[in-house]
Amino acid sequence: MASLYRQILNWLDERFGAGAVEDFLRHKTVPIHRHTIWYYFGGMTLFLFVIQVLTGILLLLYYRPTPDDAFESVQHIMTQVRFGWLIRSVHSWSANLMIFTAFVHMFSVYFLKGYRKPRELTWITGMLLFFVLLGFGFSGYLLPWNTLAFFATKVGTEMAGAIPVLGKWLLVFLRGGEEVTGATLTRFFGFHVAVLPGLATVLLAMHLLLVQHLGMSVPPGVERATAEGRATARVMPFFPNFLLRDIIGWYVALGVLGALAAIFPWELGTKADLFAPAPAGIRPEWYFLFMFQTLKLLPARIFFLEGELVGLLGFSLAAAIWVVVPFLDYRAGFGRVTRFFTGLGIFALGFIVAMSFLALW
Amino acid sequence: MKITATAVALFLWALGSAFAVSPQDSCVTCHSALEGKQAEPARLFAADVHRQVGLGCADCHGGDPKDESMNAMSRAKGFRGAPKKAQVPEFCARCHADIAYMRRFNPKLRVDQLSQYLTSVHGKRLKQGDTKVAACVDCHGVHNMLPASDTRSPVHPTNVASTCARCHADAEHMKGYKTPTDQVARYLKSVHAEMLAQGDTAAPTCSTCHGNHGATPPGVTSVANVCGTCHVFFEQLFVKSPHQAAFARMGLPGCVECHSNHEIVKPADDWVGVGAKAVCVNCHAVGDKGYAAAQKMAGDLARLKTFLGRAEEILGTAERSGMGVSGPKVELTNAHEALVKARVNVHSFNEPEVRKLTEQGVDIAQKAYQAGVVALRERDVRRKGLGISLIFIVLAVSGLYLKIRQIESGSRT
């Protein structure tokens, strides 16, 4: 068996240097310290992304992206297609878990200063990937064409429309017209299955290459302790030690997904009616709730600007700062932890959690 | 240049015409300057429908509105003054019964109000010299009349009951008549009033059943026809039923006998049968054919409702468990429809017909129930599948854990 494996590897090595990959894996290590647990969330997000791709492809076999058929085709998947209920529920639950693990991964990297020089590009590609994931969530939410999704999309795209100068153009671009119609559904479907997967593939490839090239970041505190001799630098081989631990996490995620799908299958709701009044309790997916709640709490006018516009500008500015934080917190690159940026992270996390809970209250 | 000048002149002429002050009406000028009751007509008339179509005081009362002296109200100027109560119907009918004249304002407006009114109890009594009865202005108002379609009008469907109540609920006013004074109070408890209050202006009010200008209580034999103007199927079934002839023989008014007249509340299934609330036992007693039929019909309805309840319950449980049961739920609406049809068919008093419909509903409900059973079975299969897959996952995780320990203990030694 071992010799067959060696023969295949040799065959591949002669053709594209697969031995280098094996060599890389053999020598790749992962630092061990009290924050090692956070390293697993990147892999977990990647695993859930793979689940999304696989279940998404299966759903594509039956889904029809037209206002007349979308709802019925999802209903058909849920009730008539063998294991269709499982695939659709896993796709929906996995999407939510993926965004959750992406949030955890992002904040853990932020607090552990994983964005420090020379990993600025790893952070930026990760952030762009995160925005792509939110785009997946926003576009996918509309695809079952149910009442809740229809009105949430209406509200969401209206927010985009409030952006100065570009707003109107952006609204028409997203909706495929002035209103949320069948054209919006087709467009969102296009974003969800073509545009965003294309972007995600490129960004993911860059992100993973950078992670492999630069290795895992060691938090400044641990680095300092090692340098001062208060701790010893320990590592574990990536293959198989870290990978096996990763796989345990993936198995657990699979079990959780299966249980959620079997016990709480993702609801379909009622078919969207373009002429019906908006029902009560319209709100976006949980990961957009903090923005939704903030915009709701803002007064109608702040000085001479509309409250909603101020909110959107604020969020845009915050997102921009978040993306370029490796350049702003450049001192962290020299091992100096700035309290301001740690405080900023705590404030951002606290704000997101508090506003989300307030919206659910 | 010439063309421009002409255009400017035309424009100024059009502007002048648009803002031209209408000739002064001396009736309005003088009455506005008066006080109290004499100023009221001028004040109220501004919003009157007659004013809106360009009519003035003189069109009803005669006289010369261009004459600014008291001579405007002279007989020589055709002044008729205010009509006495007994003269009101004919006073209004001078225009409202004139087809050619009315067509100028509204070709769709009826012109038979006077002839209808003269057939009404109000009209007949007025002719006999009873001036307490309603004439045109008592319902429509004076000087501030509005079209019936205007929600402020006292004859708008939502206001009719309170307009009638002004006299018919006033015990003092109705003293000397045999008519009771609780009709409006009872009507307000009815399902008809409830629907009207919800904004359904098609729901019946007093005039829908009694007529408006020709207001008369429907006779015993015409009650079913009156109700049947809206409840068409019920009437069709009733007139073919054995009750039609029996009621006529006994001098009983059709629908009213079971449903009451003014206080027509939402009917319930327990009105059918032989129970405490059943209306059938008002006439039928143990041993007669009607009693047995009533008992069977109540049984038919109850059987369908039991099957419907069972099906709804199991589908609800399945749905709460996350199972997709929208198909059977849609099917179940057909069983609900069968129940509605059976309830309507009760008015045929033909038990086999009712049973045919309830059994159709029972069949549908049973199929929906079975779909619920299948859905719950599927739910259990899913949960068992989950359990088995979780066992495999736990085994795999344990195996991996042991493998890691094995690798790492090897590397330590």
Residues of A in contact with B382 (CB under 8 A): 85-86, 262
Q: Which residues span the domain enclosing B324?
A: 289-412
Q: What's the pLDDT score for residue B1?
A: 43
Residues of A in contact with B326 (CB under 8 A): 75, 79, 268
Residue with tokens 């039923």: B241
What confidence tens digit (pLDDT) does each residue in A90-126 have? 999 999 999 999 999 999 999 999 999 999 999 999 9
Beta strands in chain A (DSSP E): 29-32, 234-237, 301-302, 305-306
- Rounded to a whole number of angstroms, the distance from the CA of A264 to the nearest CA of chain B is 6
Within-domain flag for B132:
no
For testing contact with chain A, the best of B390, B391, B395, B398 (most A CBs within 10 A) = B390
Q: Is A256 on the interface with B (CB under 8 A)?
A: no
Average pLDDT for runs of 10 along chain B of length 413: 47 42 72 86 89 90 88 88 92 93 89 93 94 94 91 94 94 90 94 93 91 80 81 91 89 87 92 94 92 96 97 93 86 96 95 96 98 94 94 97 91 56
Within-domain flag for B107:
no
User: Which residues are CB-neighbours of B1 under 8 A, at least 6 positions away?
Assistant: none
Within-domain flag for B29:
no
Q: Tokens at residue A153, please?
A: 């999309």
What confidence tens digit (pLDDT) does each residue in A320-356 have? 999 999 999 998 888 788 889 999 999 999 999 999 9
Q: For the domain that residue B362 is a member of, what is the CATH number?
A: 1.20.140
The span from the CA of B5 to the CA of B1, in Å, is 6
Within-domain flag for B339:
yes
For this complex, say whether ipTM is above 0.95: no
The span from the CA of B378 to the CA of A254, in Å, is 21
Please name the member of A251, A264, A268 whose beta carbon is closest to the beta carbon of B393.
A251
Q: Tokens at residue A2, please?
A: 């071992």
The DSSP result for B386-406, as a single string, is HHHHHHHHHHHHHHHHHHHHH
Q: Is A254 on the interface with B (CB under 8 A)?
A: yes
Which residues in chain A (223-252) have CB-CB distances under 8 A to chain B?
Answer: 236, 240-241, 244-245, 247-248, 251-252
| pLDDT beyond 80 at A71 | yes
- Rounded to a whole number of angstroms, the distance from the CA of B367 to the nearest CA of chain A is 17
Structure-derived torsion over alpha carbons of residues A63, A66, A69, A71, reported in degrees to the nearest 10: 70
| pLDDT beyond 60 at A222 | yes
Number of domains in chain B: 1
* Average per-residue pLDDT for chain A: 93
The span from the CA of B189 to the CA of B381, in Å, is 53
Within-domain flag for B306:
yes
Provide φ and ψ at A27, rounded to 5°.
-100, -10
Q: How far is CA B407 from its chain centroid?
A: 83
Q: Which residues of B358-380 are buried (b: 16+ CB within 10 A; e: fewer)?
A: bbbbbebbebbbebbeebbebbe
CB A191 within 8 A of CB A205: no
Residues of A in contact with B391 (CB under 8 A): none
State the burial class of residue A67 (Cβ atoms within 10 Å of its Cβ: 0-12, 13-18, 19+): middle
Provide φ and ψ at A327, rounded to 5°.
-85, -30
Q: What's the pLDDT score for residue A68?
A: 95
CA distances from A248 to A43, B164, B398 (A): 11, 82, 9
The span from the CA of A177 to the CA of A159, in Å, is 15
Domains annotated for chain A, with CATH where assigned, are: 1-25 (no CATH), 33-287 (1.20.810.10)
Q: What's the pLDDT score for residue A1?
A: 62
Provide φ and ψ at B92, rounded to 5°.
-70, -35
Q: Quick one: angle between helices A84-111 and A339-360, nearest 10?
A: 150
For range A141-163, the mean pLDDT = 91
Within-domain flag for B350:
yes
Helix, strand, or coil (residue B98): coil
Least confident of A50-54, A239-243, A325-329, B105-109: B105-109
The span from the CA of A143 to the CA of B412, in Å, is 53
For testing contact with chain A, the best of B320, B374, B386 (most A CBs within 10 A) = B386
Cβ contact (<8 Å) for A258 and B322?
no
Q: Tokens at residue A154, please?
A: 């209406």
User: Predicted confidence band at A159 (pLDDT cuts at 50, 70, 90)?
Assistant: confident
Within-domain flag for B91:
no
Within-domain flag for B13:
no
